[in-house]
Structure 1
Amino acid sequence: MTTSSGQRSELDRLRDTIEITNTLLTAISSTEPVHTLASRIGVLCHGTAIIYDVDGKIVASTGIAPAQLIWNEIAATNQSDLALEIGRWHVLSRRVALRDGIHVIAIASRGLETLEQLGELILDTSERLLGAVHGIQYGAIRRDRRDNEQLIASLHDGILPSREHRFWSRMTQFDFPAYAPVRSVELAPFDGESARESQVTQLVSQARSTATPLLIMLHRADREAPATIAALVPDSASGEAWLQAVSRRYLVGASGPFDSLGRVPEGVREAETALDIGKQWAAAARDPAVIGPIWTDRIDLATWLLSHVDPKQLKTRIAATLAPLRDPGLRETLVTYLASDQHIGRTADALFVHPNTVRYRLGKVEEAMGMPITSAPALANLVLSLRPEIAATQLRAVRGSDTDPN
């Protein structure tokens, strides 16, 4: 029985397809499937394989081809499939739609014949396998998120001491060191709106990228209040770095550290109090990002005392204390003076005025208040009444000095 040339060609293509598929399938069982897939693709095309995300960030790559130059060419066109040459490199690329957005697979070889013979087959198979890998990972992430939310919700409700060891066992599944101190955290968007599930997803991704253990969920203290984001993070360098990073986009209140999971409800109350302090300071700050995380165990006594007073009564007493100080310019000078540790020179520098102008304005403040502001009772009353504005001014000064190139 003879085989025609057309049949041989089809058999050769089928044989190549099976070989390519088998080679790439091994990536799925790898602990790093996307990186392994890129490595296998590179071997098959005898060159370089690169997987980009929609913004051009390299997700995985292998080989020495000019990745940035390749991306520049891909980004310049909206074509799904692209064939191009960059120097001695021949390149084929394909856009792939995945659950988390568009990705691009690019293969590059110095041998044109390899890409002409196998390029389309490699891209076809790679596209399907990349979709399969992301589907598997997406399902695993969804299960982790569900288990994550159930665990932190249980801890918020409170657990019996006799069951704590079981919950620590579950915590270790999310990379928390057993019996190591943790902090309860409350986060709120700067705009005062309710937190959203998409924001939780972003925070989870950010924590994962820095290998920071995290339990997290949407949290609503009552029906009328905007939803916040509740979290548990380790009391560690990585946990603190994560909180510092997210405080550039969220108001952050953190409890003191504790190593008993039975104290989570207490930690939640502390974190809510710290978040309320952050909201007060943010209202007095021109830029909420300067606030940074509010740590319950690091706040000063005056701030702690104010946070435990009935808000309505406190507002009434503060209004009465500051009623004589109606001039906005005098109030700004007083706040800056107190934030500058009552230093005339630093106050003048911060306000861009002459020191004598500061002295004159402070004299006017004393006239309005009817007592010298250096007296202990007057100073205590003013510091307590203006605490959020003083804190915001100090934080702006600190952030300004951190960014000053001089």
Structure 2
Amino acid sequence: MAGKLTAGSGILLVTANVGSLFEDPDNLQKTWLREFYQTVQSHKPHFIAVHCQEVGGKNFEASMSHVDCFVKELLSSDAMKEYNRARVYLDENYKSQEHFTALGSCYFIHESLKNIHQFDFKAKKFKKLVGKEIYSDTLDSSPMLEKEKFPQDYFPECKWSRKGFIRTRWALADCTFDLVNIHLFHDASNILAWEKSPSVYSGTRQKALGFVLDRITDQRFEKVPYFVFGDFNFRLDTRQVVESLCSTATMQTVRAGDTNCVDKLIFRESENDRKVVLEIEKKLFNYINQDVFRENNGTLFLQFDSELSCFKERLHELEISFPPSYPYSEDSSQGKQYMVTRCPAWCDRILMSATAKDLVLKPENEEKTLVYDNIGANVCMGDHKPVYLFFRLTAGAGKWCQRVDKISA
């Protein structure tokens, strides 16, 4: 067995779409890192997992050099000096279009955590973690993770997407669990998302997420509790949101002259000089009062967040008590402002299997040691606010987990 934990070792899971950080590294990276370090300082976790998506940003050919600086800063900063072991897996090989996911999975282990092991998927045994290591070019052949990109026909609208998942497996004390970094497909057009309820895009995400869950629970390896966290790109049901926001408005449809396709939707108040309430285009969702998405942390709109409902037997989530995590302004002076490109939504999530939920919600875990929230609520963190889950893993939690019988030093 791997060694015993001190009572209540802190686990910090973070998901962060970091694409914006590499478009404007001078302004955004310092702020992002400061807020991340503050979260670490506040909770003092023993084990940290940071799942990043869109590593290198949209122009990754030009931005990959910024990625190296970002990772080096994370590994060598004063704030992280007590984390004496680390594993960083960066999918930077953008020249390999059939494999490239732009995912980055970073794991940090505190010096006080004496026994932690990582699973070797080829040897099918756990290996003790020592030192700090970064892997970037050889992810497809690394035995310490599983990486897959979704088949091209899952999202034919994109010539090629960077969507997929990376899975790692860990053993802390008598407990084993999988950590899965995931990036699902986005909404390509707001108008297409509005046409049907649920939208065509939600069906594509459902198919891809089902693919991942089937893969990580198949017969090749022993089943263990799992946490899936990343940018799921879950969106609110656009049709229902529009009906809610514009219940008394009249709609005007603008069509493109050459194709007769719907180009724009304009919703106007019936009275009040027919004031425009909402405008929707392919990449425009401009509502007259953005504050409604922030009021009471956007709770009113959770009723339209329904993409997880078909996975309710397989995936669980703690109660959301933070505003929609996307799409925030990338202007470094606008920390709370949403962009008018998309309807705000909870894209970034931390989900878990029933057995993982049992680990998180053990009776002895006090309420105050369990936090599901965003990072950098009041400052610009890029177009996505990172989301984190902090909990304590108590000794003996492994009654839900496999025995760690095969360990190599």
In the superposition, the TM-score normalised over structure 2's length comes to: 0.22
The structure with the largest helix share of the pair is 1
The structure with the largest strand share of the pair is 2
Q: Which has the greater radius of gyration? A: 1
Larger relative contact order (C-alpha < 8 A, sep ≥ 6)? 2
